[in-house]
Each structure stands twice: as C-alpha cells, then as structure tokens.
Amino acid sequence: MILVDSSVWIDYFRGVPTPEAELLDDLLGRELVATGDLILLEVLQGFSRDRDFQRARKLMSELEVIDLGGVGLAVQAAKNFRKLRELGVTVRKSIDTLIATRCIESDLELLHSDRDFDAFERHLALRVVARGR
C-alpha cells in the first residue's frame, strides 16, 4: 500500500505537473493508494472554494484512510525525531515525523515531495515510492 503525503496531493489538486503528482495520477485506480487522517486535514483545509473542497473530499474519502496517531506511534515518532536530531537532522514538522513513523512501523511506501522525509529514508529505512515506477 502507498501512503500519499499532502505535499503530493496539494500539487495534484492544483494541477501542478510535478513528477510526484503525475505519478499519483497514474497510480490512482491501479494501485492501493491511501491517505492519512492528518494528511486529509492538511489537504482539505487549504481549499477556499466549497466546490473544490467537496471534490477533493469525495476523491480522498474513497481511499483507505489510515489513523496516523495513537500513544504508541507518538512515542515511537518522538524516538525517531530524537534519533535524527542526534544525527544532526532537525525535522521541521511533527506531523511529518508521525507520517514517516507510521509508514516505517506499518511497512507502507510513501509518495512525497517534501525534503523532511529524506532523513527518514536515509537513516531510518523509510520506504519511498520510486519515481520511475
């Protein structure tokens, strides 16, 4: 299963032709694509027009929505954040730490275009979707 980060969804809904947004378009309907509850929040809160909000909500509601929180995951995410900080890497957003940790713990691939995830891939074995897929 592939979890898609808000960084990709935002470009997808804006029609920005990034490699990741184009890959998402190709994957939809072909592969098992999921979103997370907090990713859903990040994406939907950005729409100013109700029509766009409803369109995105409908599409994303048809996907599996994964809970990104919980006590156990929060503790593991904090451990991952601290480990990266010990390596000299500071992750800018706690939500990215939760997303990366959920993917690592649940063996999900992540499709993203956010540099905060690079350290998780490099140091903590986060699996990311290959661009040439």
pLDDT tens figures, 41-57:
999 999 999 999 999 99
pTM for this model (two decimals) = 0.93
What CATH number did the domain enclosing 54 receive? 3.40.50.1010
Q: Residue 22's pLDDT band (boundaries 50, 70, 90)? A: very high
pLDDT of residue 64 exceeding 80, the answer is: yes
Whether 67 is covered by a domain: the verdict is yes
**Residue found under tokens 């275009």:** 113
Structural domain boundaries enclosing 122: 2-128
Determine the pLDDT at residue 40: 97
Whether 62 is covered by a domain: the verdict is yes
For the chain, give the mean pLDDT.
95
The number of distinct structural domains making up the chain is 1
pLDDT of residue 130 exceeding 80, the answer is: no
For residue 109, give the amino acid letter.
Answer: E
Whether 83 is covered by a domain: the verdict is yes
In terms of phi and psi (left: phi > 0; alpha: psi -120 to 50; beta: otherwise), the region of 96 is alpha
For the residues of 83-118, what is the DSSP string, one character each?
Answer: HHHHTT---S-HHHHHHHHHHHHHT-EEE---THHH
Whether 20 is covered by a domain: the verdict is yes
Whether 133 is covered by a domain: the verdict is no
Say how far apart CA 30 and CA 47 lie, in whole Å. Answer: 27
